[in-house]
Amino acid sequence: MKENYPIKFLDLKAINQAFEPELTKTLIEISQSGQYVNGEISAKFEKNFATYTGTEHCISLGNGTNALELILRAYLFMGILEKGDEILVPANTFFATFLAISNQGFVPVPVEPDPTTFNICAKRIEQKITGKSRALLLVHLFGRNAFNEEIEQLVDKHQLKLIEDNAQGVGCVFNGKKTGSLGHVAAHSFYPTKNLAALGDAGAVTTDDPELASTIRALGNYGGKEKYVFEYLGTHSKMDEIQAGILNVKLPCLDKNNRYRIEIANAYLKEIDSIHLTLPKAVEQNQALSHTWHLFTILVPEREKLIKHLFEMGIETAIHYPIPPHLQPVYGQMDFGKLPITEKIHREILSIPLNPVLNKKEVKTIIESINNWDGK
């Protein structure tokens, strides 16, 4: 990250300083404990996070991508999925969602988004369902809940497994239930940029299915449920005690920080009035927690010009994401069909700063700088 921006897109140092001195105290305690993996602290986090999400089981892992991959691999070993099965997936998502599907021998079937929410369009899902469809991988992109009654009915009607990619949606609520508890199973990421963030990388799976939980835990332990006895060809993926300790400190503050994100997002939605861009769809007042605003993304046909203008104003921006998964070079031999909505989003999308350490003066500066842009 460039240091010369008065307003950074994301200041991880400042965000973590807000948790001091407890973070440093926790790090020292863990370093002196002599227990760095498979200890009481990671077990405590699993209990805390299962309680927070409202699920029966939490398996802590090395990262969010591992979480997705091990969910799919577990379903493979349990006989619920077979290689070559189709997994419905948002066309507009981060590449890791597609990667997890392809790496396990399944076929990603991309579904176009609703351009006002950036999430998968429920009305387009059924058009992509075939006799090979076995699961829907639902991404709560940018922090907005993607689940609704229509998706619930589709999953039940076609007997699909509903897998949540909750990497960006932690803390979201739908009808009183947290994302991460809405489907059959969910993958979570605690990468340092996330709303609930470790200092290094970390991830988790939550589910109410005891057999699935046990299989995923074994797969993350080389494939064994007991020491030196391996039932599966697994991998090695564990959350270390340091990351678990950091997350235990931060978890009680998550809802408060998410509410502040919502406050900033509401200011942007209310006060940005430029005719040269499109704002994301607002959230109904009685459903405020259905979007925790991991990112605030706008659509700008003249994106590079706005980036330059904001740079000159001392405001750092980011693009999430410049190239959609289906156009990545690795998929050059695959024909995913035409996905014009997704491609337009990736050409125009721009993320502006939104995080818990932005102050009101900085928010006002961002709003005024955007409103003062003449589109040239």
Catalytic residues: 194
Query: Residues of 351-360 as b/e, b for ≥16 C-beta within 10 angstroms?
Result: bbbbbbbbee
Cα separation, 271 vs 12, in Å, equals: 26
Query: First CA to last CA across the chain, in angstroms?
Result: 26
DSSP letter string over 255-284?
HHHHHHHHHHHHHHHHH---TTSBPPPPPP
Residue 177 backbone dihedrals phi, psi, to 5 degrees: -110, 140
The upper half-sphere exposure of residue 40, i.e. CA atoms within 13 Å in the direction of its Cβ, equals 4
Run of H or E including 23:
helix 22-33
Rounded Cα distance, 73 and 2, in Å = 39
Which residues fall within 8 angstroms of residue 271, CB to CB, at 6 or more apart?
367, 371
Q: Measuring CA to CA, how many Å separate 70 from each of 43, 189, 202, 235, 237?
A: 19, 13, 14, 9, 9
Q: Which residues contact 281 (CB under 8 A, 6 or more apart)?
A: 116, 117
